């Protein structure tokens, strides 16, 4: 099955899956809405019951308070009448006793009688004043609407104020209860939403499959390529020479390479005549289809997997300019093979760049693999020799050799690289099994130029394309295959250790052109 057939099949499967997920999401949304409405109804019923209960409690409190007030007023009135009767009886008794004593005591002298009479008169006057005051008080009490004394009235007023405060307290309690219930409900909803978001974040599936990694890693390239095509076709009127000029410019800008852009333009001219293409969408479909077909044809008999030794250690030499990620690529690839159960050894042959040896040593410790190293400025070939001896004597499966970043036009550095290859071939005749050129995908056409020059001076067997997820220039893969006929062995699709993946042309094509062609 060709690449384009694979692309159409995957696109149809993705479209069917998307439709199914959309229906499921709609059904879930409807169920969630119904559940939310049901919960809201239950909350409203519960709030109404709370309001009714609060009103009943308020009425009972007021009804209980009023009998207490009436009872207190009656008790106070009875107590006042009793006190008046006791004072009157005392007065009468005090008046009668002196008179009786005066009549019965004939033996007292006239002076004593006079003194007693005087005292009695004073007491009688005081009692008369008391009686007059009591009479006035009784008169005021009778004329008042409420049959209670001033003190009783004050008590009654205080009781009324207490009742009002009780009502306010009950009402406030009801209000606070409702407010607290509302706040609790609001807080519950807020917490629930927060928990849902947190759960959604925790439940978000991690990118694990290669298909998902390619889809995410090529997102920028896919969006940019789609935008370029949309811009090209926005002003589309007819397929004429002006259109083909714009198409070539668009494809070159997408880093597919000059040669491929010319081939696409030439083949599209013939396709337009055969299919009588007039609509912009049909033009876009033909462009994408031709890109995939040309890429597929250029990769005939291409071997994207690594060449591994049948016996003894496999030696892989990494070359490239400074800053493309050679050391990081070795660290990630070592981890990949270590997870596969391979015994891995590193050789720190980049003795020129400051910090290169320490950087590779950190990766070795992180991956849990062994490393052979020497001080900076040492002869790189001597480091390679020591590593080869260790790999053979201790039965290592893989030996990764890091080399200094070098420009392809620096004769002395290229000669040094040739010397290392001679040492490797002398110790292990079939080695190195791979010479991998590491390229930075973000450099676009510059990466293509580097590959051309390295291929002329070194026996490069494959490409490792790093930082593909951080660029919109994923079309460079098409140009490398079409113009250099060099297989891309590995691609960097993220910053994690396991984001360096073996290159899969099918997944790459689908990740780059997904959604840009109508496969119905």
> What is the tally of helices (H) and strands (E) in the chain?
15, 8
Q: For residue 419, say whether it is annotated as part of any ligand binding site.
A: no
User: How do 488-492 and 500-502 pair as beta strands?
Assistant: antiparallel
Is 469 a known ligand-binding residue? yes
Is 209 assigned a ligand-binding role in the annotation? no
Q: Is 173 annotated as a binding residue?
A: no
468 is in an annotated binding site: yes
Q: Is 403 annotated as contributing to ligand binding?
A: yes
Tokens encoding 62: 């007021």
Tell me the Ramachandran region of residue 474: left when phi exceeds 0, alpha when psi lies from -120 to 50, beta otherwise. alpha
Is 324 annotated among the ligand-binding residues? yes
Residues 6+ apart with CB under 8 A from 99: 120
Residue 503, SS3 per DSSP:
coil
Place of tokens 């519950």: 188
Virtual torsion, Cα 212, 217, 221, 222, nearest 10 deg: 10
Whether residue 520 is annotated as binding a ligand: the answer is no
To the question of whether residue 405 is assigned a binding role by annotation, the answer is yes
What does the alpha-carbon distance between residue 217 and residue 492 come to, in Å, rounded to a whole number?
8
477 is in an annotated binding site: no
Q: Is 402 annotated as a binding residue?
A: yes
Please give the structure tokens belonging to residue 471. Answer: 């660029």
Cβ-based neighbours of 484, under 8 Å, separated by 6 or more: 448, 451, 452, 455
DSSP one-letter string for 187-250 = HHHHHHHHHHHHHHHHHSPP--SHHHHHHHHTHHHHHHHHHHHHHHHHT----SHHHHHHHHHH
| 28 labelled binding-site residue | no
**Does 412 appear as a known binding residue?**
no
Binding residue ranges for GTP: 320-327, 402-406, 466-469
Binding residue ranges: 320-327, 402-406, 466-469
């Amino acid at each position: 099955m060709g690449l384009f057939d694979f692309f159409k099949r995957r696109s149809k499967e993705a479209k069917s899956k998307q439709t199914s997920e959309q229906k499921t999401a709609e059904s879930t949304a409807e169920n969630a809405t119904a559940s939310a409405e049901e919960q809201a109804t239950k909350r409203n019923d519960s709030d109404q019951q709370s309001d009714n209960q609060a009103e009943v409690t308020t009425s009972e409190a007021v009804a209980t308070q009023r009998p207490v007030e009436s009872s207190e007023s009656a008790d106070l009135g009875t107590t006042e009448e009793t006190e008046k009767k006791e004072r009157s009886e005392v007065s009468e008794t005090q008046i009668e006793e002196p008179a009786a004593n005066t009549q019965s005591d004939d033996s007292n002298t006239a002076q004593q009688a006079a003194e007693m009479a005087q005292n009695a008169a004073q007491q009688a006057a005081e009692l008369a004043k008391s009686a007059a005051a009591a009479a006035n008080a009784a008169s005021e009490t009778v004329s008042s609407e409420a049959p209670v004394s001033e003190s009783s009235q004050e008590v009654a007023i205080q009781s009324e104020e207490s009742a009002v405060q009780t009502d306010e307290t009950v009402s406030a309690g009801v209000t606070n209860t409702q407010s607290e219930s509302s706040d609790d409900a609001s807080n519950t909803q807020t917490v629930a939403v927060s928990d849902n978001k947190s759960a959604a974040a925790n439940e978000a599936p991690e990118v694990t499959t290669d298909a998902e990694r390619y889809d995410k890693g090529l997102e920028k390239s896919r969006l940019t390529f789609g935008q370029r095509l949309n811009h090209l076709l926005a002003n589309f009127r007819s397929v004429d020479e002006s259109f083909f000029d714009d198409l070539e410019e668009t494809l070159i800008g997408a880093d597919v390479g000059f040669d491929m852009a010319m081939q696409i333009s030439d083949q599209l001219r013939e396709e337009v005549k055969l299919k009588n293409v007039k609509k912009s969408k049909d033009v876009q479909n033909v462009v994408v289809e031709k890109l995939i077909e040309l890429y597929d044809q250029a990769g005939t008999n291409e071997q994207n997997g690594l060449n591994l030794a049948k016996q003894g250690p496999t030696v892989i030499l990494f070359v490239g300019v400074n800053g493309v990620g050679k050391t990081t690529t070795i660290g990630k690839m070592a981890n990949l093979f270590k997870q596969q159960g391979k015994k891995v050894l590193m050789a720190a042959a980049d003795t020129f760049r400051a910090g290169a040896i320490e950087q590779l040593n950190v990766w070795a410790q992180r991956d849990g693999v062994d490393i052979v190293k020497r001080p900076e400025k040492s002869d790189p070939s001597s480091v390679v020799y020591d590593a080869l001896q260790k790999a053979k004597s201790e039965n290592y499966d893989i030996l990764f050799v890091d080399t200094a970043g070098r420009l392809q036009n620096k004769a002395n550095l290229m000669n040094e690289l040739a010397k290392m290859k001679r040492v490797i071939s002398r110790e292990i005749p079939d080695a190195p099994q791979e010479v991998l050129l590491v390229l930075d995908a973000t450099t676009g056409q510059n990466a293509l130029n580097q590959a051309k020059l390295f291929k002329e001076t070194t026996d490069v067997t494959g490409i490792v394309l790093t930082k593909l997820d951080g660029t919109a220039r994923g079309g460079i893969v098409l140009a490398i295959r079409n113009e250099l006929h060099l297989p891309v062995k590995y691609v960097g699709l993220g910053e994690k250790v396991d984001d360096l993946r073996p290159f899969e042309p099918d997944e790459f094509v689908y990740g780059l052109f997904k959604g840009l062609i109508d496969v119905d």
